[in-house]
Structure 1
Amino acid sequence: MHFQWLTEQLPTDRMLATVVMDASRDTESGDRAVAMRWSELRRSLDDQGPGAAFSGVLEEQVLRPTRAGGPHGRLVVASEDEVLMDRLLLAPPRKDEAVLTMGPDVFALAREADDTVRYLLAEIDRTGADLVLYDSTSGAVGGSPHRESVDGAHDVLNKIRGGGLSHKRIESRVEDSWERNAETVAADLDRIVLERRPDLLVLTGDVRAVALVQGALGAAAREVAEQVPGGARNNDVNGTFEARVDEVLEAFRERRRGLVLDRFSAEVGRNGLAVTGLARVVDALRKAQVEELVVSDEAIGPVSTLAEIKLWMGEKPLELSMHRDEIRQLSSGDAHARRADLALGTAAAAQDAGITIAYDGAEALLDGVGAVLRWDPAKPSGLTEAQPG
């Protein structure tokens, strides 16, 4: 799962504080509970060196309610001067964590990317549609989704009772108006899908109008379209419909992970373009060989099962090793120890690798990590067999 859209928002050459915490406020004592969690995190930051400066910037932000209902988490990244990112997480973390490091905690960003499904909701009737572009986690705290409406120019919309030629002419004009309006909506959906590249296009509303719109979509929009019954244009929030959308989004997340995990399993099984185990993953990252880092839920954290393991690094993100002496051969600078989870994440981001979380089948991951490789180092010039598209 690629997450450059998150990492590109953050500097890599400055000290940053990354906070992942339970932000749920569903009980009467919710505000107090969040304040107590933050108090623990503040002490943790203060213990990590110059954390007090970051705590001052963070405190006002993390104590501000998210306005999201139900259990949820929060990811906040700040420099000494300002809050750089504040996003919702679908579920509270198993444990709150605050990390002070050069650049962001990339594994935390990868979990947010795994949560996020960008989808375009089209609530359709026979006159047009209301369109809303969402992040599934509601995106940035305090942010609002992109909204617009599209209305067809054809207004002969209602069939009438009766018979004869006049009735048939009116009925034909009604059908023609529905189809023309559907084509107008479909053209707008095609445009937005091509411009904004949502993961899913969710179609709902009048059954006949939805079918006409779906039939008029271009190839790109049709490929990501899903019909979800129960929604309607200009209606209040419908809990049953929202639950159906959530099911569609979760099914998409599972498919997205599954494509990577199935490939990883197949390649590991034939000793192909995949490796597992910390030492082999470190070696592949050092060679900029990793296409997708595969990490177990426990290893990606918070708190990561890799947090107590130290890797050695040089001046650059890909100068990393299990052994200090090796860094002296790779780097002109001094070797320094870094938490393995932070080092792996930074190296993955530096080579534009994706990160996929393995919730199921993680037992196949030695040390909780594996990697799908871009090329096979055993072959001349790094050439591989042709891969299916």
Structure 2
Amino acid sequence: MHLHWLKPLLGRPAPFVTVHLDASPAEVAGESGPVDRWRSVRRDLERDGAPAAILDELGERIARPDGRRDAHGRALVADADGVVVDRVLQAAPATSSGSYGPVPALAPVVRASEESVGVLVVAVDRTGADLRWAGAEDSESRGPVTETVDGGHDDVRKVREGGLEKRGQTRAEDSWQRNAEAVAAALDKRVREKRPDLVVLTGDVRMVPLVRDALDQHARELVVEVSGGGRGDGIHEAAFRARVDEAVSAYRAKRRSAYVERFREARGRGEGAVSGFDDVVDVLRRGQVDELIVGAGSLAGRVLWVGPGELQVASSRSDLTSIGVVDGEVRQMPADVAVMRAVIGQDAGVTFVDDDDDELLDGIGATLRWADESTPSESVPSQSGDYRRLRAGL
């Protein structure tokens, strides 16, 4: 998962206000909504000394309806000049929180974003389709959450009276096909523009395959068919959402598995991947990382040394001064922020795995874009127990 949406933070001056908010709408009258949750977070930020003007701007952003009716989260980061990042997250945090300090509190936000899947739900019938977006997108560029596609051909009923039966069937089926093609054309365009991770296709059992077959290859590869949805009344929304959640979970697991398998294959060849905290920091500094593979808690409590540049990151101060970073520009930073800063700076991706994954020394590894003779390397232990001994320093 790439973190391009965090790029606006690079080079910004401290301090930062970071908000990780449950932005789910209130389901019943009297229940707390996002504005109420924000008030509680704001009180904590005020006690920490966050400027009132920035908190006012954050509050204005949060008060604007985001068009989402389902449970979801929101991540916002601001500096002295205003809100820099405003991101909708597919999953709502268990607890809304905020922080004010010299660096943005990115760990929970990045983890929540890595879990997110951009989903386009397409409910079709014989006259057109409703397109509904779900998942993480920048609130500034998200656009409408729902839109309707009108197929344009309304002769969709088969006639079953006397000699008109065959002609009526043909005309109706022709209208279905043309409407399916119109929906597919609109869907192809939205996929190119918005690049969803997954397209859920549901609705009329005759129209679903017609629309799918009319899509271009790229959009068709993103499609998963899920039964139970539709445009009309009588849809069991809870059951349909559960099926969509299953499809999203399967996609998320497949995506994560693909990155991990690529890492394992590269390590098995003895090239194209590194594992272990110091070696990963080394390749991050050299701009070699394609995908960071990291245990969810492996960076907790660690610190790194950084310079003014995003890739100026090291395990010790001397490592930075030895490559020409002026001593006065070197500072310590929490490892989770420093590592993500370097990942963003080289347009790499991030995949989270279980902390006890035996493939990862120190709970962290990376696949590489390139390697040379000076790239860190390690012998590949043949048994999982060897990984544990190496991790323990035995």
Secondary structure in 2 matching 1:240? helix
Q: Retained in 2: the 8 A contact 1:128–1:151?
A: yes
**Residues 235-275 of structure 1, C-alpha deviations (whole Å, 9 max, x = no match):** 48722212222221222122111111111123234432221
Give structure 1 stretches of 5+ with no counterpart: 300-304, 381-389
Match of 1:324 among 311, 317, 327: 317
Q: Residues 149 and 142 (structure 1 numbering): CA distance in 2 closer, same or farther, change over 3 Å?
A: closer
Secondary structure in 2 matching 1:207? coil
**Residues 297-335 of structure 1, C-alpha deviations (whole Å, 9 max, x = no match):** 224xxxxx53x3221222322222212122211234222
Match of 2:168 among 162, 167, 170: 170
Q: Retained in 2: the 8 A contact 1:294–1:356?
A: yes
Q: Residues 292 and 147 (structure 1 numbering): CA distance in 2 closer, same or farther, change over 3 Å?
A: same
Match of 2:189 among 162, 174, 191: 191
**What is the match of residue 85 of structure 1?**
85
**Residues 132-180 of structure 1, C-alpha deviations (whole Å, 9 max, x = no match):** 3x2425764997634332223333221233454x321222222222112
Paired letter, 1:78: A
Distance across 2 between alignment mates of 1:331 and 1:99: 31
**What is the match of residue 353 of structure 2?**
358
Paired letter, 1:101: P
**What is the match of residue 368 of structure 1?**
363
Q: How does 1:126-205 map to 2 (within 5 A)?
A: 126-132=126-132, 134-137=133-136, 140=139, 145-164=144-163, 166-205=164-203
For the pair 1:124 / 2:117, whether they are aligned, the reply is no
Distance across 2 between alignment mates of 1:178 and 1:218: 18
**What is the match of residue 228 of structure 2?**
230
Shift of 1:360: 7.0
Q: Residues 70 and 155 (structure 1 numbering): CA distance in 2 closer, same or farther, change over 3 Å?
A: closer
Distance across 1 between alignment mates of 2:183 and 2:21: 41
Secondary structure in 1 matching 2:102? strand
Q: Retained in 1: the 8 A contact 2:272–2:368?
A: yes
For the pair 1:100 / 2:95, whether they are aligned, the reply is no
Q: Retained in 2: the 8 A contact 1:75–1:108?
A: no
Give structure 2 stretches of 5+ with no counterpart: 376-394
Shift of 1:205: 1.1
CA RMSD of aligned residues (A): 3.4
**What is the match of residue 383 of structure 1?**
none
Percentage of matched positions with identical amino acids? 38
Q: Residues 246 and 194 (structure 1 numbering): CA distance in 2 closer, same or farther, change over 3 Å?
A: same
Q: Residues 288 and 361 (structure 1 numbering): CA distance in 2 closer, same or farther, change over 3 Å?
A: same
Shift of 1:42: 4.7
More divergent stretch after superposition (280-289 vs 171-180):
171-180
**Residues 85-138 of structure 1, C-alpha deviations (whole Å, 9 max, x = no match):** 344440425894625335x45545532431332222222111111223x24257
Distance across 2 between alignment mates of 1:72 and 1:218: 31
For the pair 1:311 / 2:304, whether they are aligned, the reply is yes
Q: How many residues align?
A: 365
Paired letter, 2:113: A
Match of 1:378 among 363, 373, 382: 373
Normalization by structure 2: what TM-score? 0.79
Distance across 2 between alignment mates of 1:323 and 1:158: 73
Q: Residues 139 and 7 (structure 1 numbering): CA distance in 2 closer, same or farther, change over 3 Å?
A: closer
Secondary structure in 1 matching 2:322? helix
Distance across 2 between alignment mates of 1:155 and 1:62: 42
Secondary structure in 2 matching 1:129? strand
Q: Retained in 1: the 8 A contact 2:22–2:37?
A: no
Secondary structure in 2 matching 1:272? coil
